[in-house]
Amino acid sequence: MSVPSGAEPVRRGPRRSHRATDEGIHYSRWFWPSFTIPASIWLAILFILPLYTVISIAFGTVDPIFRGPLPVYEPWWWSGEQFGRVLGDSVSFYRIVYIHTFEYVVIASALCLVLAYAVAYYVARYGGKRKTILLALLIAPFFISYLMRMLAWINLLDTEGYINKILTFLHLVPHPIDWLSGRPSTVIMGLVYGYIPYMILPLYAFLDRIDINLLEAGRDLGAGPARTFFRVTLPLSRPGILAALVIVSLPMFGDYYTNNLLSGSPKTTMLGNLIDDALGSTGQGNKAAAFVLILMVLVLIPMLYYMRSTARSLLTR
Amino acid sequence: MSESVLTAPKTSALPRGGFVRRRLRNPWRRPTILATITWGYLAWSLIPLVIAIAVSFNASRSSSTVHLFSLQWWWTDPSDSLLHDPELHSAVIQSLRLSLTTMAIVVPLGVAFALGIDRWHGRLATGANFVMLLSFVMPEIILGVSVFFVFSFLLKFVPLGSTAQILGLVTFQVSYPVIIVRARLLSIGKEYEEAAMDLGATPRQSIRAVLLPLLYPAIFASAAIVFADTIDDFVTVRYLSGPVSSEPLSVKIYNFARGQPSPAINAAATFMLASTIVVAFVAYLLYRAFTKGQRTGGLGDLATRL
């Protein structure tokens, strides 16, 4: 992703083993692996083990007296009773929640893509002398807390906030609108606002690398600007678009806070809210674990896709 | 944009059609629409924040009526200001403690992993790398809930509170330095290290004296990102907080934002923002200092690394 400076050879193809590459230099066999041991152990205990615990709780039983979850760690004793119940509810009672989740995530990701692509394209192609300041402004939201950014919108969208003041002042609406209680449009706006910075930068990095000669070749061969864009730029940026879509939609699927902060109403409940609510109420541990498991399965394919594309870009650079 | 004037084709060469069509077909036209979208986006993304910051200096409790500049919500107010509300005050300290500790653990852990995984190949290495990337893309709620469950059922000896919060945060953050340092390692190549060893350095010495200094920019960048990300974190931290005193500022803001909004909350958020900017700025200065003389694209290069 970085700009390759002139002196460095571009690495391609499979890597050879160290003994073959570094003539005469011998690392002991455990030299490099030992570097990875602390972090690997950490992840084994605090990442893999917790995920297994979730599965053990989702397929576990319930304490008959305290109604708390009783995890079952041996797969051969797993019972599908609790998980089956949640699955049953998911296709009936909670179906609307899944529909909302997909609706909001798809609409918000699409809006993010259109806006982010336009901005990234402009900065990459036409940034010119202002590129640095534009980039600084685009990076700024990265360092501004998500909460701060949501708080800003809570202030603005309040019934006494500036948005309503302006709207009533211009007589566009007769009386202030209650934006912050159960409006899907507000939630989608919040999702776009919250996650779009994560999309613009990777797209920018991708578009910035497209060889301008290819575009000029397209022009020379008689294609107009629109045709050059649709036949050259867009196909070239497709991997970048897919990766960027995954980057924003994965956290959106697990988002509950945007919804809680900007709506807080059961009318806009998403899957993330189900998990958060279940965890907040006693005796629903199994339910929370089951929902986490469902979420994990739902996002598995985009996650694997993203990991594969990152791994490939690391190898072929 | 003088060159666009110079290279613009003569009118006769323009394609046929109405004004709009002609404009759209002209490859040398200025990207007015794109420019409008970009500046519009920047205004949309930044103006709300400016207003939110302004509210914290407002003398009124309402967020829309503008009064004189005041530091009431920062420290003048004896009970409700950021400095004097004991709850907010201790939350600030908890926030800083969590993010600094997390940063101190995550950076060495991640940098070492990145170094090792970059040079060690084999099935085990692929597996470790897979798990690391998985922790990067996993939605945070999954991670937060599962770490909460492991501390309440399997590893019960870890009490909810600061320890649990730090353990959870490190797990969530450790992939950042790995990804940033690996990108840097790829652009450095192996030549410097090999040269050092040809000149008689041991592998350990070549890492400490040659490779590590070359990695400083990536290390500072990842430290800043980890700090910014942990001080904002409220998902993992909220599930793992025990007593009220272990709730950092982010969790307080989350809890109060809808319930009892007060300009002091805006002051708290502004304080967090300021501390993040300070850390980011220091990291950027260090980044610049350590990449002096190297060909980097400056901010653009940093941006593409994120």
A49 neighbourhood in chain B, CB within 8 Å:
150, 154-155
Determine what percent of chain A is predicted with pLDDT higher than 90: 20
Domains identified in chain A and CATH numbers: 95-280 (1.10.3720.10)
Per residue in B16-47, pLDDT (tens digit) is: 566 666 666 665 667 788 888 888 998 888 88
The packing angle between helices B212-232 and B263-290, to 10°, is: 170
How many Å lie between the alpha carbon of A110 and the closest alpha carbon of chain B? 16
Please state the ipTM of this predicted complex.
0.84
Residue B16 makes CB contacts below 8 A (sequence gap 6+) with B22
Give the pLDDT confidence of B135-156 residue by residue, as tens digits.
Answer: 988 999 999 999 999 998 888 8
Return the number of other C-beta atoms located less than 10 Å from residue A175's C-beta.
9
Do A202 and A247 form a contact (C-beta atoms < 8 A)? Answer: yes
pLDDT, tens digit, 9 for 90 and up, residues B178-220? 988 988 888 887 888 888 888 888 888 888 888 888 888 889 8
CA-CA distance, B223 to B103, in Å (whole number)?
A: 6
> pLDDT, tens digit, for every residue of A199-252?
888 888 888 888 888 888 887 887 777 788 888 888 888 888 888 898 899 999
pLDDT band at B287 (very low <50, low <70, confident <90, very high): confident
Q: What is d(CA B124, CA A249) in angstroms, rounded to the nearest whole number?
A: 30
B24 Ramachandran zone, left/alpha/beta (phi>0; psi -120 to 50) = alpha
Interchain contact, A225 vs B27, CB within 8 Å: yes
| Mean of the per-residue pLDDT values of chain A | 82
CATH class of B86-305: mainly alpha
Q: How far apart are CA A228 and CA A236, in angstroms?
A: 11
In angstroms, the CA A71 to CA B153 distance is 8
CB neighbours of residue A252 within 10 Å: 24
Q: Which residue of B has its CA nearest to A127?
A: B35
Chain B hits for A219, Cβ within 8 Å: 27
Residues 6+ apart with CB under 8 A from A242: A305, A309
Using the beta-carbon criterion (under 8 Å), do A32 and B119 form an inter-chain contact?
A: yes
How many other C-beta atoms lie within 10 A of the C-beta of residue B290? 17
> CA-CA distances (angstroms) from residue A155 to A148, A195, B40?
10, 19, 20
Q: Tell me the per-residue pLDDT of A168-208, one tens digit each, with 9 for 90 and over.
A: 888 777 777 777 788 888 899 999 998 998 888 888 888 88
State how far the alpha carbon of A236 is from the alpha carbons of A203, A207, A240, B108, in Å. Answer: 12, 9, 8, 37
Quote the tokens at residue B230: 């942990």
Residue type, B96: L
Which residues 107-166 of A have a C-beta within 8 angstroms of B? Answer: 115, 118-119, 121-123, 125-126, 128, 131-132, 134-156, 158, 160-162, 165
Q: What does the block give as tokens for A259?
A: 């919804």
pLDDT band at B3 (very low <50, low <70, confident <90, very high): very low
CA dihedral B165, B167, B169, B172 (to 10 degrees): -140
pLDDT digit string (tens) for A247-281?
899 999 989 998 888 887 888 889 999 999 888 88
- In chain B, where are the structural domains located? 86-305
For residue B163, the model assigns a pLDDT of: 92
pLDDT at B206: 84
Query: Which of B144, B164, B125 has its CA nearest to residue A33?
Result: B125
Within 13 Å and on the Cβ side, how many CA atoms surround B73?
26
Q: Do B189 and A8 touch (CB under 8 A)?
A: yes
Orientation of helix A131-143 relative to helix B263-290, angle to 10°:
130
**pLDDT at residue A6 greater than cutoff 50:** no
Alpha carbons B216 and B184: distance in angstroms, whole number: 10
Q: Work out the end-to-end distance of chain A between its first and last CA atoms, rounded to an integer number of angstroms.
A: 8
A-interface mutation test, from B137, B167, B172, B193, most A Cβ less than 10 A away: B137
Written as six digits, the tokens of B94 are: 């908890």
Which pLDDT belongs to residue A2? Answer: 41
